[in-house]
Amino acid sequence: MVLIDFGLAHHALLPDLHDAAFGEEEGTTPYISPEQLHHVRSESRSDIYALGAILYQLATGYFPFGRPNLLSLAKRLATPPLPPRCHRPDLPAWLQEIILRCLEIRPEHRYATAKEIAHLLTHPEAVHVGKRGRRTRPPGWLQRLRGWQRSIFQKFDEFPAPRPYELLTTSPHVLVALDLDHCSEALSEALRRAVRRLARSEPRSYFTCLSVLPAQERAPRSATATPDVARQVAMRNWAQPLKLAAPRLVFQVLPGDPVRAIVNYAHQHQVDFIVIGARASSALRQHLGSVSAAVAAQAPCSVTVVRTRRDIKK
């Protein structure tokens, strides 16, 4: 793909002369966000709104607010769009939840980054479906009236819009590599403490718990209790004391070599941070190298290797 349209781009530190030069509205009518209608062009989450409009169109065949005109511009300042499931009753509730959150009127109510949306589209089980996702009727007259009243007084330039890099650093994707079959209780608790600290320091962070299953351990399809399911259950039990909200936590079991699987996942899903446990050292691991050391050397992001005092002494 090639990016060819820089019509809205402007320098963050230099005066924006777009209005003075052209004297026209900024944006394409079906995809322009509410804050852009108020001439706020420094909000990176306007792109999230446009992405939501594109997803709405792809899912239903319609624009979120009908035919692009002045009335459709006015509507998006006050009311949510018609739920996509009104057009397509068979549309999954989790997909509608994503689309409508992208199309929220206030930027701070949308997703912080497109990376988070991509993560949820590939992990539907992580989408927390609320009223937005279950809605199958147009907004009622009372909801529309309240929306119009709010739109009269709301402002979009009260606070400076965060830079894109600020949103990326405050909404990190954290990969927690778990090998619970060979993990002591002390190391298991140390990993939980590390994840808990990250979750508290970055309230918008979201986590993927990943376990790698060597190919020789994979059971045939006819087996009733496969190692994949057993590892899923073990990871969920491990994560339960963390008490993280469902949208912040995903569980994955992948086959193959542990180092390659962890590093490839981090590349493909643009992981910002990896947390991995290191087992007690042994002569064999010192000779061949440990998984945690290899991941730390090859990963495209920061890696925290968690140890226990007992392991360090050994």
pLDDT surpasses 80 at 202: yes
**pTM for the whole structure:** 0.73
The three-class DSSP label of residue 103 is coil
- Of 27-31, 85-89, 93-97, 147-151, least confident by mean pLDDT is 147-151
Residue 51 has pLDDT above 90, yes or no: yes
Q: Which of 76-80, 101-105, 149-153, 202-206 has the highest mean pLDDT?
A: 101-105
Q: What is the pLDDT of residue 140?
A: 77
> Could you please report the per-residue DSSP string of 140-153?
PHHHHHHHHHHHHH
Average pLDDT over the chain, rounded to an integer: 82
- Asked if the model's pLDDT at residue 44 lies above 50, the reply is yes
Confidence of residue 9 (pLDDT cuts 50, 70, 90): low
Rounded Cα distance between 231 and 218, Å, is 11
Among residues of the chain, what percentage have pLDDT more than 90?
42
Q: Are 75 and 68 in contact (CB under 8 A)?
A: no
The domains located in the chain, with CATH, are 24-162 (1.10.510.10), 172-217+224-313 (3.40.50.620)
Q: Which two tokens stand for residue 179?
A: 């090998």
Cα gap 131→2, rounded to integer Å: 37
Digit-coded pLDDT (tens) for 75-107: 888 888 999 999 999 999 999 999 999 999 988
φ/ψ of 134, rounded to 5, equals -90, -10
Paired strand residues for 207: 174, 249
Which tens digit of pLDDT belongs to each residue from 101-119? 999 998 889 998 898 999 9
Strand partners, 250: 208
| pLDDT of 242 | 93
